Amino acid sequence: MSLRELCEIRPLARWCRLPGAGAAVPGVVHYRGELLTLLDLAQLSAARDETTPASWVLVLEHAGERLGLMADEVMDVLELAAGSIQPLPLTLGENGDNFVGMSTDGVLIADAARLMAAQLRAHG
């Protein structure tokens, strides 16, 4: 995702589960006076190991809407040239709809607009 859409990276200390919510949208987190929907990116790309809880939330903003992405680990912020983005592997199937491509090192590149749409589909 573009750094323009990343507002903040913060520890995910406490959050509330939403009863009946799917695995991809497990709950909400309090963020600066508002409740943000949490989106579990691991569930949108592959199955999460339930024994490893998410430790971080990446706060995204796109078109005036905010969303929290759960992350197990934040290792780095990468600068990628647009021409270096590779196509996604077919094995991601429809989960690939949330990504614009991947780096040459195999890092998936999320798309905030697509993630917002996934949130709407999950609540829909």
**Three-class secondary structure of residue 82 per DSSP:** helix
What is this structure's pTM?
0.73
Domains (range + CATH), the chain: 3-123 (2.40.50.180)
CA distances from residue 105 to 19, 48, 85, 119 in whole angstroms, order as listed:
37, 21, 10, 27
Please give the average per-residue pLDDT across 28-55, as a whole number.
78
Closest to 60 measured CA to CA, from 98, 91, 86: 98
**Three-class secondary structure of residue 13 per DSSP:** coil
Contact of 46 with 99, CB cutoff 8 Å: no
Quote the pLDDT of residue 12: 93
Q: What percent of the chain has pLDDT over 90?
A: 19
